[in-house]
Amino acid sequence: MERWIELSRMNRSGRVNVEELEEIYSRMVFCMHTYSEINMRVISRNNITGLMLIERRYKCEKCGGEITMTTWEELSNV
């Protein structure tokens, strides 16, 4: 799983307060994740095989953690 630190939590030096970082980390580690799809894009199409490479991004509704999944899917499934 990819872990992202919200840029709004960083100060001007690009650093994150230790307490905030611990809070973000503990939210993500102990969260019972509930993901919602936030973005989908077609990366590549192969008309010969009838497949498309799809990238989907999901965000946890509880902790804000994000994951990205890339899969090959048939053209008819998209």
Compute the average pLDDT of residues 30-37. 79
pLDDT of residue 1: 38
In this model, does residue 52 exceed pLDDT 90? yes
In this model, does residue 39 exceed pLDDT 50? yes
pLDDT of residue 4: 46
CB 4 within 8 A of CB 16: no
CB 63 within 8 A of CB 28: yes
Name the residue ranges covered by the structural domains of the chain: 7-77
Give dist(CA 44, CA 19) in Å, integer: 42
